[in-house]
Amino acid sequence: MTDTFHAFRAAILRELGNAPQVIEPGPLRRFATNGKPRDDAGFYRLFDDLRGGIFGCNRQFPGQVFTWSGFDRDRMTPAQRAALARQIEQATRERHAAQQQQWADNAKHIAKLWDQCLPVAAGDPVALYLAHRLKCEVRPLPACLRQHPALPYRVDGAIVGTWPAMVARLSAPDGRMLALHRTWLTHDGRKAPVPGAVKKLTPTAGPLAGACIRLAEPEVGRIGIAEGIETALAARCASGVPTAASYSAGALAAWQWPAGVRRIVVFADADTAGAEAADKLRQRAQAAGLLVNVMTPTTQGTDWCDVWANRETEVTP
């Protein structure tokens, strides 16, 4: 029996890179896949008969479920294989139902937080922050950006303080609000002295593949895409191209452009992750028949917000 637990845990570790320390048979269980105490993106179910199980990670592999068998399937009888298939199917349905409920709960939390936010106004922390970052006043500011006057910052679930925050709506291709991107700030528009990452994404209300922060809509069949909010706003200031933000390199690679777009300008970050993400998006878009321009700063490690703030050059896509 101990060998079965070890083998199942080894399979999880091999596929996900993280695994729970203790494996228990029975109902679907959650565990951390990123080392953080409150993370529960990982899931597994080891069947009661110990013949098999399922596992996966909602963050890394949305919609994908790995199956495991503790026995050589080629040596199983047809009845045993059919029984295992039924267990896998039932466990997969249970996992799907649990995920749908979690997304529904997250959606309520996200909507409540969004409603607590205020439109960005001249002189507030968000407007000051963007002016500091871009070295100019950004007008008009997109409606998908709001400011929270006193957003709690948590470490391992405990509130360690409150600061103003820039809150951005992350939308699915169909317009549904999937998450909120938060940047904690000081009242004078600087990054807040929080004891951790100053930028965080809320738990999500659905798969993030294809989503973005819709800072702009296409104009004459053309749209730009960048990783960060500040980078996207700077790209528009520098080039005049309406530009959305993907929020990360991985999300940029998976971004889904709006219907009717014929040309995409990718404002890539000048680093390895940015280059790889931009190339993946370029290949997908060109395969779909779109014209694609990839614009990358010449200085390694910079992005278009750095370029614009320093006014090194103007961007002509």
**In this structure, what CATH number is given to the domain that contains residue 252?**
3.40.1360.10
Domain boundary among 78, 109, 140: 109
Name 249's Cβ contacts closer than 8 Å, sequence gap at least 6: 227, 269, 273, 274, 276, 277
Contact 178, 206 (CB under 8 A): yes
Contact 165, 148 (CB under 8 A): yes
198 and 101 assigned to the same domain = no
Domain boundary among 206, 227, 253: 206
Q: How many domains does the chain have?
A: 3
199 and 225 assigned to the same domain = no
20 and 63 assigned to the same domain = yes
216 and 300 assigned to the same domain = yes
> In this structure, is residue 300 part of a structural domain?
yes
138 and 159 assigned to the same domain = yes
What would the mean pLDDT of 74-84 be, rounded to a whole number? 82
> In this structure, is residue 14 part of a structural domain?
yes
- Tell whether the torsion through CA atoms of 26, 28, 29 and 35 is positive or negative: positive
What would the mean pLDDT of 278-287 be, rounded to a whole number? 97
214 and 317 assigned to the same domain = yes
User: How does residue 49 score in pLDDT terms, banded at 50, 70 and 90?
Assistant: confident
Domain containing residue 273: 209-317
Quick check: 38 pLDDT over 80?
no
245 and 165 assigned to the same domain = no
Report d(CA 251, CA 201) in Å as an integer. 13
268 and 194 assigned to the same domain = no
pLDDT (0 to 100) of residue 94: 84
Average pLDDT, the chain: 91
Domain boundary among 74, 109, 144: 109
> In this structure, is residue 114 part of a structural domain?
no
